[in-house]
Structure 1
Amino acid sequence: MRHDQSNEWNRCACCPEPRQPVGLDPVRRLSALETADELRAALACMGIAGDVHEGRGLALVSVWTGLVVWTDGFWYRWWTGRRSQTGRWLYAHHSAFEPERAARRLAARYAELREAPSDMAAGAS
């Protein structure tokens, strides 16, 4: 039997009850604070300390001078230390669903900043 879709969301015209979405398991979205805490914990496992701050739907993980990661619960973002040809800061981003992989990338940036002179780490030109 072929099911014809009606205009109602998730309803088949020939079925009285709504159908369950196929292959979609409900996933609880983590808040920005929860994803920031996951990243902080992943960094701590690597011996890198970080402070978490939260407000207005965003959370920040302060790692080092020039290395602050912010998240909205979906993505982690941080400054790469580079600028575009027009002088704009270039940012890296990583899925917030992979805090351990993001922490490994951040550990590399952290090492760069620890070796760099402090004025360059802060983004001075």
Structure 2
Amino acid sequence: MRHEQSNAWNRCACCPEPRQPVGLEPMRSLSALETAHELHAALACMGIPGDVHEGRGLALVSVWTGLVVWTDGFWYRWWTGRRSQTGRWLYAHHSAFEPERAARRLAARYAELRETSSSVATGVS
């Protein structure tokens, strides 16, 4: 049955019971695989290819050499390409509830890696 919105803030014209206001639905938790597929789709919209893999409660989106994003369903994590002063790898993280924003951040890293690999391939220093 299709609901018709009435003038009342939280009521449907055809239903006597109040409905929950739009945008305030309880947050639905996603599995790591579903979250990875959301990121993969957001990257694909930007023309960035990738592969999705899943296992042991984590999912990976393999984007480029040196750019693998993993998720537990709550966070995306990837290597920034930098190391700390002690030599430890530094990772970026982004909320898995914002796959489009995470994809924009990853697009910048992807472009950086592609530039680096094309410079190496042509022998430019």
Q: Which category of TM-score, normalised to the shorter sequence, fits these structures?
A: 0.7 to 0.9
Find out whether 1:29 has 2:29 as its counterpart. yes
Q: Counterpart of 1:85?
A: 85
- Paired residues in the alignment total 96
Q: TM-score, normalised by structure 1?
A: 0.73
| 1:25 to partner: Cα distance | 5.2
Matched AA of 1:47? G
**Percent sequence identity over matched residues?**
91
1:13 corresponds to: none
Q: Which whole-Å CA distance do the structure 2 matches of 1:60 and 1:38 have between them?
A: 12
Per-residue deviation, 1:26: 3.4
Corresponding letter in the other structure for 1:30: L
- Taking structure 2 as the reference length, what is the TM-score of the superposition? 0.73
In the alignment, residue 106 of structure 2 is paired with which amino acid? L
1:106 aligns with 2:103: no
Shift of 1:117: 3.5
Name the aligned partner's letter for residue 69 of structure 1: V
Aligned to 1:43: 43
The runs of 5 or more residues in structure 1 that have no matched partner are 1-23, 121-125
Alignment-derived partner of residue 123 in structure 1: none
Alpha-carbon separation, structure 2, partners of 1:71 and 1:98: 12
Change in 2 beyond 3 A, CA 1:45/1:32 = same
Deviations 1:43-85 (A, max 9, x none): 0000000100000100000000000000000000000000000
Which residue is equivalent to 1:6? none
